[in-house]
Amino acid sequence: MSFTDRTILITGGNAGIGRALAEALLARGNRVIVTGRNPASLAATLAANPGMAGHALDVTDRAALAAFPARLLAEHPDLDTVILNAGIMEAEDYTADAIDLDVAERTIATNLLAPIQLAAALLPHLRARPRAALVTVSSGLAFVPKAGNPVYSATKAAIHSWTQSLRHQLRGTSVTVHELAPPLVATELTPGQSRNPAALPLGAFIDEVMVLLSRGTVPDEILVERVLFQRKAETENRYAAAFAAINR
């Protein structure tokens, strides 16, 4: 079912892909609730988008994340769609004498544990809705890793795997499960990335995603044209070339 007339939660909806998606979904008449960690950009997002609701939430704060669903559902009992978008991407160097494991820990906490915890808390509610959807956000790097970001790439591969299992388990329920796998998109996910000429402009990415979300049957995997290079690398027998292109 297309993403119209829904009540949608988007984590990390105060910046980048999450904010752009929140604005596009709001413009289509959905009710949209965003969460964000940075109070200033959350306030700016809400000020720029009358009708959008928002909550401050650091998804790595396990106590705050555990308390959030009850508050969310009390305010938005018609919630039927959850987009688990919040994420971070940092570099790691395993050739260094002292490897900084803090990066690995916060990347796994943000990109993997938080979506699992939030999905677990919200799925009983979603299953009780007549029509519901859960959307995970992986990456093209789930399919061909970027060696400079080993744990980031691994969390996205894990999200891809986890999403497939959820989809299978929930196949007899009202909840459809989708995976949005962006290619390199011009946001500030990494410093300066929004000015990288190789990145897909954010507006073009969102336009393509909205076409897919507007289909009568939204695909299991929400894949824009640019990400097929990575998504299909293995099945098209060009994995080594794709790995080399990403890791020059």
Ligand X SMILES: NC(=O)c1ccc[n+]([C@@H]2O[C@H](COP(=O)([O-])OP(=O)(O)OC[C@H]3O[C@@H](n4cnc5c(N)ncnc54)[C@H](OP(=O)(O)O)[C@@H]3O)[C@@H](O)[C@H]2O)c1
Active-site residue numbers? 152
Q: Considering the rule CB under 6 A, would residue 17 count as an interface residue with ligand X?
A: yes
Instruction: Name the residue nearer to ligand X (CB basis): 17 or 158.
Output: 17
Q: Considering the rule CB under 6 A, would residue 137 count as an interface residue with ligand X?
A: yes
The length of the chain in residues reads 248
Stretch of 10-18, 22-30, 92-100, 216-224 contacting ligand X, by CB under 6 A: 10-18
Q: Considering the rule CB under 6 A, would residue 117 count as an interface residue with ligand X?
A: no
Residue pair 123/225 in contact by the 8 Å Cβ criterion: no
Window 190 to 219, contacts with ligand X (CB under 6 A): none
Instruction: Name the residue nearer to ligand X (CB basis): 129 or 140.
Output: 140
Q: CA 219, 224, 225 angle in degrees (round to 5)? A: 120
Q: Considering the rule CB under 6 A, would residue 144 count as an interface residue with ligand X?
A: no
Query: Rounded to the nearest whole angstrom, what is the least distance from the CB of residue 70 to ligand X in the complex?
Result: 18
Q: Considering the rule CB under 6 A, would residue 136 count as an interface residue with ligand X?
A: no
Q: How many residues bind ligand X (CB under 6 A)?
A: 28
Query: For residue 12, how many other CB atoms are within 10 A of its CB?
Result: 26
Query: Rounded to the nearest whole angstrom, what is the least distance from the CB of residue 84 to ligand X in the complex?
Result: 8
